[in-house]
Structure 1
Amino acid sequence: MRTTVAIIGAGPAGLLLARLLHRAGVDCVVLEARDRAYVERRQRAGMLEQGAADVLRECGAGDRLDREGLVHRGFELRFEGEAHRVDLPSLTGGRTVTLYPQTEVVKDLIALQLADGPPLLFGARVVAVEKTDGEQPLIRFVTEEPDGTDRTDGTDGTDGAEGPSGPAGPAGPERTLECEYVAGCDGSYGASRRALPPGAVRMHARTYPYSWLGILADVAPSSDELLLAGHERGFALHSMRTPALSRLYIQVPNGTSPGDWPDDRIWDELDVRLAAGGWRLQRGPVLTKSVSGLRSQVIEPMRHGRLLLAGDAAHIVPPSAAKGLNLAFGDVVTMARAFTHWHRSGSTSLIDRYSDNCLRRVWQAQAFSHEMTTLLHTPPGADAYDRAMQLTRLRRLTGPTAAAAELAENYAGAPLI
């Protein structure tokens, strides 16, 4: 097989890149290790900045998003038993965000690609990415039959990449795909990351000293907007999956097992941490329960030869600011522009600047995600001084200050098109 751009990974980043390249007339092939059913069940966060939603509309994937997505014009910061609303449109010139599960984004993009798009091969596990320093990279892959095992990990609120793939079914003969460039969109455990030669890139990493315990509950959300609480006992988040399903999180120590927290204990703790005035949290049956760690990673540069990294293959952010999916979309929009410019003009100038252009946005999102994480979480061993400093920062962000406007700007994100 041969193509112009080989895309490894059929998550939202790889699928959006394929759509953008197809519309620009650039040949590409997408290789995805999992089967379609698994990919369409894979649960991840789904808060779209307006720029990300606009890109989906522009490439033809906006119909269901506009029908079913939950548009949010603000969110609440809660602390000391008070609620402080951040109004996004008034602070950002009209921008909003939309809650639309990543699962549904992937379904929409897969349907478009299979109906009118470049080849998408499921069950195609990449075993090697070679010759990325040359003019014609080579990808070796095998096709595998699904083994019927549901490997969904249930952690649908975080932006972290999933772990290494589990066992698959019987593998067919090895096949090869020649290309001009490789787009690595297969996460931090994928073949693209493994293809980087030792010493070719620098890894910046941070693991946070706490985790999130998340639940999906069969109860209508108790608020129309997201609620983020910075309580002395730890962070809490009230979100939603649909108008009938609530998604909620609380900060817990690293190493916590979901079994350590019976349902009633979770609801009781959420009541305490989210309390504000006369507001009441509605309880319901807990459908899923999981614990996820918080971490940050950045690969510099995001390119090695003819291999370009995007999304979780290049960076991980803690979920506190919901930037993971949006950063991935920013990467592939930048990448698509670079490949299109090269395809039409023969110039590699935008490809050569791809990493630098992306990393400016990536580090800005990392800084904001780190700020939101440390602002709202209580670190182990925190004392009264630490709490006073945290409350001072929170009050500054909820007053009529430039900091409040900066918070809204970072939360809503910048346009991508």
Structure 2
Amino acid sequence: MRTKVAIVGAGPAGLMLGQLLSQMNISNIIVESRSREYVEGRSRAGQITPATVRILTQSGVGERVHAEGMKHSTLQFHYDGSTRELDFEALTGQTVMIYGQQEIIKDLVAARLRTEYPLLFGAANVQVHGTDGNSPSVTFRHDGRQQSVECDFVVGCDGFHGICRPQIADALTCYSHAYPFAWLAVLAEMTPIAKDVIFSSHETGLALFTMRSAKVSRIYLQCSPDEDPNEWSAARIWDLLQSRIEGRPEKVDGGAIIEKSIVQLRSFVAEKMQKGRLFLAGDAAHIVPPTAAKGLNLAVSDANILARGFEHFYASDKDDLLLSYSGIALKQVWRDVQFSHSMAMLLHRYDDNAQFHRRLQIAELDRILGTGPAAQNFAELWVGSPPFTASI
């Protein structure tokens, strides 16, 4: 097979890049090692920024986002026994949308299958070759046959544990940070206790309330990184949840638990995000802690920036935007990593010198939720930057 851009991985970055390239009539192929059922069934983050909504809409996959997504304009912060609100729509004129990542994946897969360009699930032994030269290729086994794709460029959208980043490891400087806590993630058949996302910063740890629909709640509880989710009974979950929202009027009426898992919190950034004819996008290049719900949005941003670079290259035979990809993308990546890290520091219990950290957290929450410029700055970071645009 021959194509212009070979994409390894059918996560949000890979599928979004494929959708944008298809709109630009730039031939591409997506190769994914997992099954379609697995890819569409993974439950992930569900908050998308105005920039992501705009990119999805302009790329022709925004219909269900607008029809089924839940607009949010306010955040609630609960600490010291009381709740205070931050109206980020009033401060920025923008809202965010709650719409599950798995639903975006389904929308992108459905749109892809309506195009002429291949999307190959269940590809085994995927390997990348020749990206230091001008004729790279991707080989894999699919439907019982060994196959090879010759291309102009390869884009690794195959996640943190994928095969693409190691291909250019000699050219990368990697930065990482592991947090001394994790989240117990719970999906439950439970009407959300409020219309807004709630961050509860309790002296025993964080509780985060969000939702997937009007009848399904997503709840996160700070816990130890070595916790076993199977040891958390429903009663234990609801009791801890109730204790961490003490001072609020709600009585947690926990419904059936659909799933529970442990989410490890870490930050990771690879610089640069490219070498030769191989580019990295999404989790293959960076991981952000989920405190500010930026991971999915960064994946879409990477895909958008890279698509504009390919569009410019094939329209003008100039590679200046492609060569600038890392520099452009990493500005947004580090901004979101810093914001997500600051929220992790703000909202979790730190066992080391706990009372000192607690007083610092309360002072910072009071500052952010006051009437000064801190609220404006926080609101702007929460809703995110406008999408990258490039004129040709």
For normalisation by structure 1, the TM-score amounts to: 0.91
Matched residue SS, 1:291: strand
Q: Which residue of 2 aligns with 1:20?
A: 20
Partner letter of residue 122 of structure 2?
G
CA contact (8 A) 2:22 2:115 kept: no
**2:177 pairs with 1:177:** no
Whether contact under 8 Å (1:294, 1:318) holds in the other structure is yes
Q: What's the offset of the Cα at 1:125?
A: 3.0
- SS class of match (1:238): strand
Amino acid at match of 1:6: A
Q: 1:214: Cα distance to partner?
A: 1.4
Q: CA deviation at 1:387?
A: 1.1
Which residue of structure 2 aligns with residue 311 of structure 1?
282
Instruction: Verify the 8 A CA contact 2:33 2:126 in the aligned structure 1.
Output: no
Superposition pairs for residues 11-410 of structure 1, below 5 Å?
A: 11-92=11-92, 94-143=93-142, 172-196=144-168, 198-410=169-381
Which range moved further: 322-331 or 119-128?
A: 119-128
| 8 Å contact kept, 2:124–2:141 | yes
Q: Is the 8 A contact 1:301 1:355 kept in 2?
A: yes
Structure 2: 5+ residue runs without aligned partners? none
Contact 1:221-1:282 within 8 A present in 2 as well: no
2:108 alignment partner AA: L
Q: 1:117 to 1:95 in 2, by over 3 A?
A: farther
Give the secondary-structure state (helix, strand or coil) at the position aligned to 2:170.
Answer: coil
Q: Percent identity of the aligned residues? A: 41
- Summarize deviations over 1:86-122 as a string: whole Å, max 9, x none: 1121111x11111111111011111111012521111
Give the Cα separation in 2 of the matches to 1:48 and 1:339: 25
1:283 Cα deviation after fit: 2.0
Per-residue deviation at 1:126? 4.8
Counterpart for residue 3 of structure 2: 3
Give the Cα–Cα distance (whole angstroms) in 1 for the partners of residues 216 and 233 of structure 2. 19
1:148 corresponds in structure 2 to: none
Shift, 1:280, TM fit: 3.6
Do 1:126 and 1:139's aligned partners in 2 also have CA atoms closer than 8 Å? no
* Partner of residue 164, structure 1: none
Q: What's the TM-score, normalizing by structure 2? A: 0.96
Aligned equivalent of 1:147: none
SS in 2 for 1:400: coil
Q: Tell me if structure 2 keeps the 8 A contact 1:222–1:282.
A: no
SS of residue paired to 1:293: strand
Q: How many residues align?
A: 388
For residues 192 and 318 of structure 1, the distance between their equivalents in structure 2, rounded to whole angstroms, comes to 22
SS of the aligned residue for 2:171 comes to coil
2:98 partner letter: L
The letter of the residue matching 2:317 is G
> What is the rounded CA distance, in whole Å, between the counterparts of 1:107 and 1:126 in structure 2?
25
Distance in structure 2 (CA, Å) of the matches to 1:365 and 1:66: 25
Structure 1 gap ranges (5+): 145-171
**Does 1:415 pair with 2:386?**
yes
**What displacement does 1:411 show?**
0.7
Instruction: Decide whether the 8 Å contact of 2:198 with 2:210 is kept in 1.
Output: yes
